[in-house]
């Protein structure tokens, strides 16, 4: 698949998908820096922490979605995953303020995440007791959004 826009603008189109190919997507804008989420739901889904990159929902194009399934993981959010291989792909808030809907994509599902960097840890007050968050120099926030020094 060509990773340049058909318009000839030369901007990169980011692609990704699940393990079995049942879900494939393209992103028409540069994704935001990656956030490591330490909440209990992300730790359960990803077996450690969730690594997500955010973007406007309108920038995400589903190329193949025959096995995409959505699960309401809480009263406020849903998670998209492949029903065949189980790969976690998306997280989306159910109610969003403002005109622009947003979605997050699992960084590990990107075909080529080069150029993206981690810029924050979130829900650090919910991290698992079995690990420490090393001093990697990026911002840390609690579940209430408070910055942790």
Q: Which residues contact 34 (CB under 8 A, 6 or more apart)?
A: 51, 52, 53, 107, 113, 116, 117, 118, 119
Give bridge partners of residue 53 from the DSSP assignment: 105
Q: Where are the domains of the chain?
A: 14-140
CA distance 37 to 35: 6
Tens of pLDDT, residues 36-53? 999 888 888 888 899 999
CA distance 28 to 75: 29
pLDDT for the residue 10: 53
- Using a 10 angstrom Cβ sphere, with 0-12 exposed, 13-18 middle and 19 or more buried, the burial of residue 115 is exposed
pLDDT for the residue 40: 84
Contact 55, 32 (CB under 8 A): yes
Q: Which residues contact 120 (CB under 8 A, 6 or more apart)?
A: 33, 35, 36, 138, 139, 140, 141
Task: Check residue 123 and give left, alpha or beta (phi > 0: left; psi -120 to 50: alpha).
Answer: left
Decide which of 2.40.50.70, 2.40.30.20, 3.40.50.1980, 2.170.150.70 is the CATH code for 14-140.
Answer: 2.170.150.70
What is the mean pLDDT for each group of 10 consecutive residues in the chain (149 residues)?
43 94 97 91 86 95 98 92 97 82 95 94 92 91 90
């Amino acid at each position: 698949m060509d990773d340049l826009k058909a318009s000839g603008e030369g901007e990169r189109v980011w692609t990704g998908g699940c393990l079995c190919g049942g879900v494939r997507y393209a992103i028409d804008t540069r994704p935001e820096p990656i956030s490591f989420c330490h909440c209990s739901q992300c730790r359960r889904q990803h077996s450690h922490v969730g690594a997500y990159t955010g973007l406007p929902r309108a920038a995400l194009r589903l190329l193949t979605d025959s096995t995409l399934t959505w699960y309401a993981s809480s009263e406020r959010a849903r998670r998209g995953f492949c029903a065949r291989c189980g790969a976690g792909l998306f997280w989306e808030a159910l109610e969003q303020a403002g005109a622009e809907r947003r979605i997050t994509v699992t960084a590990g599902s990107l075909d080529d995440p080069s150029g993206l960097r981690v810029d924050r840890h979130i829900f650090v007050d919910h991290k698992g007791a079995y690990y420490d968050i090393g001093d990697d120099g990026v911002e840390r926030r609690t579940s209430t959004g408070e910055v942790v020094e």
